[in-house]
Amino acid sequence: MASHPPLRIGVLNGDDIGHEIVPAAHRIASAAAQACGLAIDWRPMPLGRKALDELGHTMPPGTLETLGTLDGFILGPIGHQAYPKVPEAINPHPILRKSFDLFANVRPTRSYPGLGCLYDDIDLVIVRENNEGFQPDRNVVAGCGEFRPTHDTTISVRVITREGSRKVARAAFEIARARKKRLTVVHKNTVFKLGCGMFVEECYEAGKEFPDVAIEEVIVDTFAMKLVREPQRFDTVVTTNMFGDILTDEAAGLVGGLGMAPGLCIGRGDIAMAQATHGSAPDIAGKGIANPYAMIESTRMLIEWLGRRRGIPAAGEAAALMKAGIDAALADPATRTPDIRGTGTQTDMVDGILKFMENHAHAPA
Ligand code: ATP
C-alpha cells in the first residue's frame, strides 16, 4: 500500500515521434510504479501541433497553471520548426524552462555493450545551463536576443549572469558530489573574457561550498577534442547553454546517437521536467523505429529524482526496476531499435523492458 500522496506527473507528448516514445515511457514507468507500490497520478495534457489543430494553440491556456500544481512532467520532443507561422503556434520549450526556473539540464552519457558505442566505458554527465547564454529565444524576457539593425548586420546577444552561473554550478557540484567528486568546468574565457570569465568565477565561488569536490577547467575546443579521444577522463561537467547543446550531441554520438541521450531539467523549485536531448525526428515518425531509450531513461531519472527529493523509497525502487528492464532490453539485439544495432522495432524494445520488469518485480511491501 502506498504511504505517500500520489506523485502528480504530467504527460505531454509533443510532436512527431513524441506520440510514440512518450506513451512508451509512460507505460513503462506506470508498470514499474505499480510493481513497486508507487502511487502516481498521471495527467496527460495537450501540447504542440496536435493541441494547435484541436484546441487552437500549441500551448493551450491554463497549461502553465496546471503544470505548476504537479510534481513533475514528461515533455516529448517539439517540432516547432514545422509549425505554421501564426501567433498561436509558439515553441513551448523556453517558456516551460523559464516558468519553472529549470536552469540545469542534466544529460548523462553512458556506454552499453554491443550498441556501437565508440568506447565501452563511458559514464559521464554534462550539466548544461538552460536559461541564458546565446539561445536568443530564452535570454530575454521580451523581444529576441538576436536582431538585424541593417540588412547586412546581425547581432546575437549572449547573456551570462552571476546568479545563473552560480545556480547551475551548484547543481553540478551536487551531482559531482554524489558521483566521483570531480567537476570539469568547460568554457572559453580566453576569448569570452567577460562572459565565460564570469561563469568560471561563479563556478569557483560555488565550489567553496563543496570543498570535497575537485574542480578543473578545460577550454571548450580542447574539451570537444578530448571528449572524442578520452571520454573516460570526465565524470561531471558543467558548461554554458550553447556549448552544452553542442557537446551533449557529441557525447550522444559516442554511445550510439541521439536515441541514447536522455535528460532531466531541474531547478531550485520542487518540479522537474524529463526531456530527451533529441528533437522530434519527423523523418522517422510513424515508422515504429524511433529509439524510445532517451525518453524512457529521462522519465526514469524524473522518478528517481522525485523519490530522492520527497523521500519516497518506492520511487527509488521503481527507478531501479526500470533500469534493470532497460539494461536487459539493450543487451539483446532483438529488443533494440535499428539505430543501436538492433533487429527489433520500438514495440519490441518496449515489450522487452516490460517483460523483464514483470518477471523481476518483487511484490511491494
Ligand atoms: P532539434 O534541433 O529539435 O534538437 P534536430 O535538428 O537535432 O532537432 P532531431 O529531430 O533530433 O533533429 O533528429 C536528428 C537525427 O537523429 C534524425 O535523423 C533523426 O531521425 C535521428 N533521431 C533523433 N531522435 C531519434 C530517436 N529517438 N531514435 C532514432 N533516431 C533518432
CATH number at residue 161: 3.40.718.10
Cα of 264 to ligand 1 centre, how many Å? 18
Mean of the per-residue pLDDT values for the chain?
Answer: 95
My answer on whether 267 and 248 are in the same domain is no
Residue minimizing CA distance to atom 16 of ligand 1? 258
Q: Are 157 and 138 in contact (CB under 8 A)?
A: no
The number of distinct structural domains making up the chain is 2
Cβ–ligand 1 distance for 291 under 6 Å, the answer yes
Looking at the domain assignment, is residue 140 inside a domain? yes
My answer on whether 125 and 233 are in the same domain is yes
My answer on whether 209 and 148 are in the same domain is yes
Cα of 282 to ligand 1 centre, how many Å? 8
Condensed to tens digits (0 to 9), the pLDDT of residues 294-309 reads 999 999 999 999 999 9
Cα angle, residue 97 at apex, residues 5 and 63 outer, rounded to 5°: 60
**pLDDT score for 141:** 78
Question: Closest Cα partner for 269 from 145, 32, 102?
Answer: 102
Reported in sequence order, the residue ranges of 152-233 that DSSP labels E, i.e. its strands, are: 153-156, 182-187, 214-219
Q: Are 254 and 117 in contact (CB under 8 A)?
A: yes
Looking at 228, 254, 280, which one is the last position of a domain?
254
My answer on whether 231 and 292 are in the same domain is no
Residue minimizing CA distance to atom 20 of ligand 1? 281
Looking at the domain assignment, is residue 149 inside a domain? yes
Query: Residue 66 — very low, low, confident or very high, per pLDDT cuts 50/70/90?
Result: very high
My answer on whether 166 and 53 are in the same domain is no
Looking at 254, 283, 298, which one is the last position of a domain?
254
User: 52 φ, ψ to 5°?
Assistant: -65, -45
Looking at the domain assignment, is residue 344 inside a domain? yes
Q: What is the percent of the chain where pLDDT is above 70?
A: 99
Reported in sequence order, the residue ranges of the chain that DSSP labels E, i.e. its strands, are: 7-12, 40-44, 72-75, 104-110, 123-129, 146-150, 153-156, 182-187, 214-219, 236-239, 264-266, 272-274
For the cut 70, the answer to whether the pLDDT of residue 365 exceeds it is no
Residue minimizing CA distance to atom 19 of ligand 1? 281
For the cut 70, the answer to whether the pLDDT of residue 364 exceeds it is no
Condensed to tens digits (0 to 9), the pLDDT of residues 138-170 reads 778 788 889 999 999 999 999 999 999 999 999
For the cut 60, the answer to whether the pLDDT of residue 184 exceeds it is yes
Cα of 119 to ligand 1 centre, how many Å? 22
My answer on whether 294 and 306 are in the same domain is yes
* Owning domain of residue 2: 1-108+258-365
Alpha-carbon span 363 to 354, nearest angstrom: 16
Q: Which residue has the higher pLDDT, 144 or 87?
A: 87
My answer on whether 240 and 215 are in the same domain is yes
Cα of 68 to ligand 1 centre, how many Å? 29
Looking at the domain assignment, is residue 266 inside a domain? yes
Mean pLDDT on 183-202: 98
Looking at 254, 286, 313, which one is the last position of a domain?
254
Looking at the domain assignment, is residue 304 inside a domain? yes
Which atom of ligand 1 sits closest to the CA of residue 295?
Answer: 27
Looking at the domain assignment, is residue 113 inside a domain? no
Question: Closest Cα partner for 226 from 300, 354, 119, 350?
Answer: 119
Cα of 275 to ligand 1 centre, how many Å? 13
Q: Which three cell numbers stand for residue 90?
A: 509558439
